[in-house]
Amino acid sequence: METTPVSSTSGADFETLVAELNHRVWEVRRDACEELGTRGDARAVTHLARLLRDGVGAVRFAAAEALGKLGDRSVVPQLIKILEDPHFGAYGPVIEALANLKAPEAIPYFIRILRDSDPRLRSLSANALMVITRQVIPYKAKGSEEEREASVQQWELWWKKNESRILKPAP
């Protein structure tokens, strides 16, 4: 009976963790992503960004979470592109990463997700909107469709009014 090797990443050096991102066993790749995310080493960003396209959802999700923790906004376009991909899987880690990165570019996506069928994603998006915008527009992820729609319309009006100010290029 073959056993699945699982790395003990907590004591590994950076180069070992990066090598483990290419391991054939997905749990090793996932664990390496998680460990790199906790270390705060910016050198990991490009390696983790590559794993956003891994064939295993758990690895993709761990890479997204780790990128959110590292705070490098250069990955924002890649994370937003994932929100447009219907085959990515669970978007929760991506929403949380974009919220951690305080990415105003993601606001229209979060507003769109407020209409999603999944109440967990709706809740994560509502929280991300409040974190990024510091606006409080009441939203009940498990509220009635009418309540939710009224809040979504308020967010849409707010965004239409503030988009150019929020997304204006830095001087």
For all residues of the chain together, what is the average pLDDT?
A: 90
Give the confidence band of 7 by pLDDT, cuts at 50, 70, 90.
very low
C-alpha 141/C-alpha 18 separation (Å) is 38
Specify whether the CB–CB gap between 90 and 57 falls below 8 A.
yes
Residue range 87-100: mean pLDDT, rounded: 89
Burial of 92 (0-12, 13-18, 19+ CB in 10 A): middle
Q: How far apart are the first and last CA of the chain?
A: 62
* SS3 category, 145: helix
Contacts of 88 (CB under 8 A, 6+ apart): 60, 82, 94
pLDDT 10s digits, 21-80: 999 999 999 999 999 999 989 999 999 999 999 999 999 999 999 999 999 999 999 999
The pTM score is 0.85
Q: Give the CATH fold of the 10-90 domain.
A: Leucine-rich Repeat Variant (1.25.10)
Domain boundaries, the chain: 10-90, 102-166
DSSP 3-state of 166: helix
